Amino acid sequence: MNMVISGTGSAVPKLLVTNDDLGRLMDTSDAWIQSRTGIRNRRLAVEETTTGLAVGASLEALADAGIAAEDLDLILAATVTPDQFLPNLACEVQGALGASGAVAFDVNAACSGFLFALDTAALYLKNLCERTPDGADRTALVIGAETLSKIMDWNDRSTCVLFGDGAGAAVLRAQPSGSEKRGIRGMVQRTDGARGGVLSCRNRPVNHPYAKRQEPPAYVSMDGQEVYRFAVRTVPETIREAVDQAGFSMADIDLFLLHQANLRILESVAKRLKQPMEKFPVNLDEYGNTSAASVPILLDDVRKQGKIKEGSRIVLAGFGAGLTCGATVLVW
């Protein structure tokens, strides 16, 4: 069974905020942000919601794949910033699309969320195909969607300048294996919960009559240098393992589509893998770090630029809070 991405889509908010715009709000500058991160602009939700962005990206992905929402078997949404606790984002999307035959639930693995959801969807579809009489022709919609701006402390210049809002989606289809081995060929996930404090955001505390605690609202807090060290060590290791699993050498890979957190991290990973930066497309300059949305937005951007052809060998990789890291290798 081949697990093939057959459509992609993305949606970002209208409001574009430049580094100079932020420099008028707080003690920061375009020079500082660009030199440390490579980020120039980000999109911030004003009227938009996580659900609305997710639905927009999903409609594009379904149209691109030529799939009707009613034919979906599964919807997985990766997010850390759903609009509400209940119901989950995937159920909201399922309702909005009218995908009545799809099971829908969320995955929270922060900036690795889309990768964890994609791999989970592939394993779920494989299982579904194996235990149902009609076999193949099963389809999942995998979404990464965030409005991170709502969990940022806009008085903390060391975090709020890094992030942006947006959504990306991909349609994953289970297709009978032919002579060609297309689709997902390798997948590796890693988790290091013992170091979760490095990048975190507390939920609201218990708040019943027996536990009257007063706590200020919580926002994202990050030890940037520790995250940097984790990323530049773990991402290349995880990619190597996934590429080995796929039976490829690093030189066989045409494109490395990595979570867009920081240009220096991308450059360091490229150097450690001994691969040229031309194989590492970048759009963090335009969108900032959109957490679970960054990999599917980049995938969609790169496809729209015509950089992916049938047979292209692609690595998708994410890393983030948890700490988590994931890499998937696929043949387009």
**Where do contacts with ligand ACO occur on this chain (CB under 6 A)?**
28, 32-33, 36-37, 111, 157-158, 161-162, 199, 222, 224-225, 227-228, 261-262, 264, 289, 319-320
Decide whether 50 or 289 has the Cβ nearer to ligand ACO.
289
Q: Which of 2, 19, 129, 259 is catalytic?
A: 259
Shortest gap between Cβ of 301 and ligand ACO (angstroms)?
A: 18
Shortest gap between Cβ of 29 and ligand ACO (angstroms)?
A: 6
Q: Which of 2, 19, 108, 289 is catalytic?
A: 289
111 is catalytic: yes
Upper half-sphere CA count for residue 255 (Cβ side, 13 Å): 23
Q: What Å distances lie between residue 36 and 29, 119, 161, 277, 324, CA to CA?
A: 11, 32, 11, 17, 23
**CA-based R_g, the chain, Å:** 19
Shortest gap between Cβ of 251 and ligand ACO (angstroms)?
A: 27
Decide whether 34 or 175 has the Cβ nearer to ligand ACO.
34
DSSP SS3 for 168: strand
Decide whether 186 or 320 has the Cβ nearer to ligand ACO.
320
Tell the burial category of 219 from Cβ atoms under 10 Å away from its Cβ (0-12, 13-18, 19+).
Answer: middle
Q: Which of 111, 160, 201, 325 is catalytic?
A: 111
DSSP SS3 for 221: strand
259 is catalytic: yes
207 is catalytic: no
Decide whether 228 or 248 has the Cβ nearer to ligand ACO.
228
The conformation of residue 206, written as its DSSP 8-state character, comes to: P
DSSP SS3 for 2: strand
Structure tokens that stand for 173 in this block: 């289809």
Catalytic residues: 111, 259, 289
